[in-house]
């Protein structure tokens, strides 16, 4: 695929800088998708919301793949990892959507920022990626910033915090599996199979629960369905971008930039819901930003170096 000259450096290359740039775009689309889910609220049944999200991704990617001169699943192996990726993403989406119904957007996103910490551990232990102690320190610094933002023990915490924590855990595992598949598989086929498997699983659940869900689905307004399509579009774009980022940079390098989603979530929360960050949240954002910048500088100084 040919790219315009002014974006060739970011999208056509294989540099770490390109991966970081695409990862930041990924977090923006995820934050946008979560914002739309927050706007939708409980007006659409959770199971129907998930079903439309994955049907949309399946149809869009199927049309895209049909445009290719040769269609095949040669880039889909190993199939067990493809199945695991779909299950993890479905669990992550369900946990995230449920959490957004009970918690403010910045709080939900902040708790989901546990995912990069878990991902870094998995990248070092399961993928065998070399992570220097200085980079571990930057990730820990980002975690401290997250604590400054969410301030555990505050009145806004309840049993519902279990949803974003579950989302963080499943997303961390999802990223590791995605990193494995990005080395050998076709990103478009991987995303298509993920959406297809999730759609089939959700269709089975909808069929078994149709007696209770159909009356609720019929009462959903047309405007809410339009918002569901917007959410599905953003989510599909985000996951495609994430695979492209993983093809260009190691998972441990991209991990700290997952914190950028907190910045976008805070911005969208202010724009759409009128929630302005307080002093502690602002300070926490600065700490998180410093951890990301520090990681980039450390990688530039010692690319390929062994952990100190």
Is the pLDDT assigned to residue 119 strictly greater than 80? no
From the centroid of its chain, how far is CA 302?
28
Q: Is 57 a member of any domain?
A: yes
Residue 308 has pLDDT above 50, yes or no: no
pLDDT at 33 over 90: yes
Residue 139 pLDDT > 70:
yes
8 lies in a domain? no
Mean pLDDT of the chain: 79
Query: Other C-beta atoms within 10 Å of 55: how many?
Result: 17
- Nearest-5° angle of CA 266, CA 272, CA 275? 50
The band of 266, judged by pLDDT with boundaries at 50, 70 and 90, is: confident
Give domain status of residue 123, yes or no.
yes
Domain count, the chain: 1
214 or 150, greater pLDDT: 214
Q: In the predicted model, is pLDDT for residue 108 greater than 50?
A: yes
Q: Does residue 97 sit within a domain?
A: yes
Residue 189: inside a domain: yes
Mean pLDDT value across residues 57-77: 71
Amino acid 140: pLDDT: 85
pLDDT computed for residue 103 by the predictor? 82
What percentage of the chain has pLDDT greater than the value 70? 80
Q: How many CB atoms lie within 10 A of CB 11?
A: 16
What integer pLDDT is reported at residue 182 of this predicted model? 67
The pLDDT of residue 1: 41
Query: Is 122 among the domain residues?
Result: yes
Residue 9 within a domain: no
CA distance 250 to 248: 7
- The conformational region for residue 133 under phi > 0 = left, psi -120 to 50 = alpha, else beta, is alpha
Task: Show Cβ contacts of residue 262 under 8 Å, excluding neighbours closer than 6 positions.
Answer: 106, 109, 110, 113, 146, 149, 285, 288
Higher pLDDT, residue 303 or 165: 165
pLDDT at 265 over 60: yes
Highest mean pLDDT among 35-39, 99-103, 117-121, 127-131: 35-39
User: Who has greater pLDDT, 106 or 126?
Assistant: 106
**How many Cα atoms are found within 13 Å in the side-chain-facing hemisphere of 95?**
22
Handedness of CA 226, 241, 11, 80 (dihedral sign): negative
36 is written with which tokens? Answer: 């739309």
For tokens 């992570």, the residue is: 131
pLDDT: which is higher, 7 or 242: 242
Residue 51, domain member (yes or no): yes
Q: Which residue has the tokens 């403010």?
A: 104
Q: What range does the domain containing 208 cover? A: 31-301
Handedness of CA 93, 94, 97, 102 (dihedral sign): negative
Give residue for tokens 């996103």: 109
């Amino acid at each position: 695929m040919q790219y315009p000259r002014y974006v060739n450096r970011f999208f056509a290359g294989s540099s770490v800088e390109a991966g970081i740039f695409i990862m930041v775009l990924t977090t923006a689309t995820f934050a946008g998708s979560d914002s739309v889910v927050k706007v939708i609220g409980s007006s659409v049944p959770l199971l129907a919301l998930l079903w439309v999200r994955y049907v949309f991704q399946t149809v869009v990617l199927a049309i895209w793949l049909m445009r290719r001169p040769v269609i095949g699943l040669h880039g889909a192996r190993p199939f067990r990892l493809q199945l695991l990726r779909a299950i993890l993403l479905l669990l992550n989406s369900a946990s995230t959507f449920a959490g957004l119904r009970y918690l403010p957007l910045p709080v939900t996103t902040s708790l989901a920022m546990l995912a990069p910490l878990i991902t870094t551990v998995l990248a070092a232990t399961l993928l065998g990626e070399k992570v220097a102690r200085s980079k571990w320190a930057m990730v820990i610094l980002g975690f401290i910033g997250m604590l400054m933002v969410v301030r555990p023990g505050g009145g806004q915490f309840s049993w519902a915090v279990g949803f974003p924590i579950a989302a963080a855990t499943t997303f961390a595992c999802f990223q590791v599996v995605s990193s494995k598949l990005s080395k050998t598989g076709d990103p478009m086929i991987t995303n298509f199979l993920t959406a297809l498997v999730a759609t089939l699983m959700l269709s089975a659940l909808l069929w078994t629960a149709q007696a209770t869900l159909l009356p609720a689905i019929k009462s959903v307004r047309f405007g809410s369905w339009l918002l569901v399509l917007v959410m599905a579009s953003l989510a599909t774009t985000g996951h495609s971008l994430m695979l492209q980022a993983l093809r260009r940079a190691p998972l441990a390098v991209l991990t700290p930039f997952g914190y950028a989603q907190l910045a976008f979530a805070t911005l969208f929360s202010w724009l759409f819901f009128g929630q302005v960050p307080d002093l502690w949240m602002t300070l926490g954002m600065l700490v998180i930003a410093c951890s990301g910048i520090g990681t980039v500088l450390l990688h530039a100084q010692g690319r390929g170096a062994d952990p100190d």
